[in-house]
Amino acid sequence: MHLHVIFPLAISLLLVLSPAAVRRCAAQERTDDAPPYKPLVSPLARDSATSLYTISIQDSGPLVVDLAGPLVWSTCTSDHPTFSCSSRECASANGDGVTPAPALAPRPSCRKRPNCACTAHPCNPVTGRCAAGDLTSSPMSANTTDGRSLLPHPVSFSTVASCAPENLLQSLPAGAVGVAGLSRAPLSLPSQLAARRGLGSRFALCLPGVAVFGNTTIYLMGFPLELTAIIGRTPLVKNPKRSGDYYIPVVAITMVWTSRDTPAALQPRALELDPATGRGGVTLSTVAQYTAMRSDVYGPFLQAFDAAIGAPGTVKKVPEVAPFKLCYDAWSLRPLKRLGWDVPIIRLELAAGASNNWTMYSGNSLVQVGDRTMCLAFLEMAAGGGSDDGPAVVIGTHQLEDNLLVLDADNEELRFSGILRGSGATCGSFNFTA
Ligand SMILES: *[C@@H]1O[C@H](CO)[C@@H](O)[C@H](O)[C@H]1NC(C)=O
Ligand SMILES: *[C@@H]1O[C@H](CO)[C@@H](O)[C@H](O)[C@H]1NC(C)=O
Ligand SMILES: *[C@@H]1O[C@H](CO)[C@@H](O)[C@H](O)[C@H]1NC(C)=O
């Protein structure tokens, strides 16, 4: 090849490559669209291999939804921008949970200053493994909504996020690039959207299907009424030792069937949260698949369900299928027109201040494990795991699926629909068209 051919080629390569590299870093400092900001809506999908849920909001790929997660984190390109170790963002990421999310759009630097790039500590909610990663700015996009369908213009914005090494993705769905923490912590996704977009720290989750950030009405196709106004409400409880997590004030658990109540014979205050130690209480998880109960709660709970379902003598018990403890022959269960199977309803009785108790029907309480075997979809917490200072009950996704949940940390309130099946709507029936 002659020199005069190579030379222009080299020049044009330079012209193509170098501005692109610069642009890639600069592009992560997005200017927010103008206020007043509209509520945002993103699809939630279930990964069948892991039973985890992902949200499509980050430009580089889906993020696993972690209701108890304090940070947004993902793998990064090598030219990611960084924050200074003396920035407010760095204080929020590493603080005591007191430094609130900065109210302005993040302004990271493209030039990494050695020794003074902020390090965050993202953790994998499934494996529990943590790693160190640069705090960076993560480009995101979402559609805006009026609560019924999409508004014409999608928006792009940045959030403060942590980089994480590729191996922190272990046990997450194939294709997921990180985790979206939705806790009350200052750098969780809803806290950042609240601080910078004035959306209020209110968001709705409906698994699997849709997440909505902001103070908005919500309609699902198949059901004519606005949902947030008519569903149940309960005060949220805060655990001083795990201040990001969402707890609900459950005081008793009762099986309700054929108009008879069978309460689980729990020790007094078995479900109570001890604010001094952080032990006990009932919390919500989008990472645990099945609700897990501390042994002293699980035993009486199983007994009550077994007694309630056994009372009429029509339901045939079959050998248990691990990890479940109570299983039934589906052919002995009576199907209901709209609500699955006719089995005892599990009623979580809520403390004063709630508008309703939380009732779980078969769609949330049973799981099919074979052709004709249905099991009670609740697990005993592993001994030691959480028994010492963990929650008494962690409500998992099998129990939250097809339920609309609206978490409102500003008002310390949870709104909950119970299973939507039977109403005509499902979590998959949000109208994702303009
Ligand atoms: C907005 O919604 C449209 C239609 O559902 C979809 O194709 C597009 O990817 C969405 N945009 C964002 C940023 O989520
Ligand atoms: C949410 O919206 C409703 C109706 O527009 C309004 O009355 C209420 O004050 C808003 N709440 C917050 C926290 O902004
Ligand atoms: C929950 O159930 C208990 C027991 O039946 C009842 O006393 C209480 O009033 C119920 N709470 C609400 C808010 O309906």
Please tell me the distance from the alpha carbon of residue 6 to that of residue 197, in angstroms, as a whole number: 50
Q: Contact 64/125 with Cβ under 8 angstroms?
A: yes
Q: Which DSSP string corresponds to 357-399?
A: -EEE-HHHHEEEEETTEEEE-EEEPPTTTTTTTS-SEEE-HHH
Distance 154 CA to ligand 1 centre (A): 7
Ligand nearest to the CA of 218: 2
User: Among 72-76, 195-199, 224-228, where is mean pLDDT lowest?
Assistant: 195-199
Distance 209 CA to ligand 1 centre (A): 14
pLDDT at 99: 62
Distance 159 CA to ligand 1 centre (A): 19
The one-letter code for the residue type at 110 is C
Q: Per-residue pLDDT tens for 157-203?
A: 999 999 999 999 999 999 999 999 999 999 999 999 999 888 888 99
Sign of CA dihedral 359, 363, 368, 373: positive
Q: Contact 271/395 with Cβ under 8 angstroms?
A: no
Q: Does pLDDT of 6 surpass 90?
A: no
Q: Contact 106/158 with Cβ under 8 angstroms?
A: yes
Nearest Cα to Cα of residue 165 among 116, 123, 113: 123
The one-letter code for the residue type at 312 is P
pLDDT at 15: 38
Sign of CA dihedral 137, 138, 139, 141: negative
pLDDT at 30: 58
Q: Is 386 left (phi over 0), alpha (psi -120 to 50) or beta?
A: left
The H or E element that residue 18 is part of is helix 3-26
Ligand nearest to the CA of 256: 3
150 CB within 6 A, ligand 1: yes
CA atoms within 13 A on the CB side of 154: 12
Residue written as tokens 């902001």?
214
Residue written as tokens 């609500």?
339
Percentage of the chain lying above the pLDDT 70 cut: 88
Nearest Cα to Cα of residue 388 among 248, 274, 268: 274
Residue written as tokens 């299907």?
209
Domains of the chain in sequence order: 40-213 (2.40.70.10), 232-414 (2.40.70.10)
Please give the structure tokens belonging to residue 191.
């806290």
Please give the structure tokens belonging to residue 101.
């999310």
pLDDT band at 339 (very low <50, low <70, confident <90, very high): confident
Q: Specify the DSSP class assigned to residue 429.
A: G
349 CB within 6 A, ligand 3: yes
pLDDT at 24: 54
**The model's pTM:** 0.91
Q: Per-residue pLDDT tens for 256-295?
A: 998 799 999 999 999 999 999 999 999 999 999 999 999 9
Q: Does pLDDT of 422 surpass 90?
A: no
Q: Is 306 helix (H, G, I), strand (E, B) or coil?
A: helix
Please tell me the distance from the alpha carbon of residue 169 to that of residue 131, in angstroms, as a whole number: 11
Q: Contact 175/60 with Cβ under 8 angstroms?
A: no
Please tell me the distance from the alpha carbon of residue 279 to that of residue 106, in angstroms, as a whole number: 36
Q: Does pLDDT of 344 surpass 80?
A: yes
Please give the structure tokens belonging to residue 380.
């005993």
Q: Which residue has the higher pLDDT, 130 or 30?
A: 130
Ligand 3 atom having least distance to the Cα of 261: 5
Q: Per-residue pLDDT tens for 80-115?
A: 999 998 898 999 998 745 566 666 667 777 776 667
Other C-beta atoms closer than 10 Å to the C-beta of 75 total 18
pLDDT at 382: 83
Please give the structure tokens belonging to residue 215.
């103070």
Q: What share of the chain is helix, strand, coil (3-state, %, to 5)?
A: 15, 35, 50
User: Among 22-31, 57-66, 158-167, where is mean pLDDT lowest?
Assistant: 22-31
Please tell me the distance from the alpha carbon of residue 400 to that of residue 419, in angstroms, as a whole number: 8
* Residue to mutate (ligand 3; options 349, 356, 358, 415; most atoms within 8 A of CB): 349
Distance 214 CA to ligand 2 centre (A): 10
Q: Contact 302/293 with Cβ under 8 angstroms?
A: no
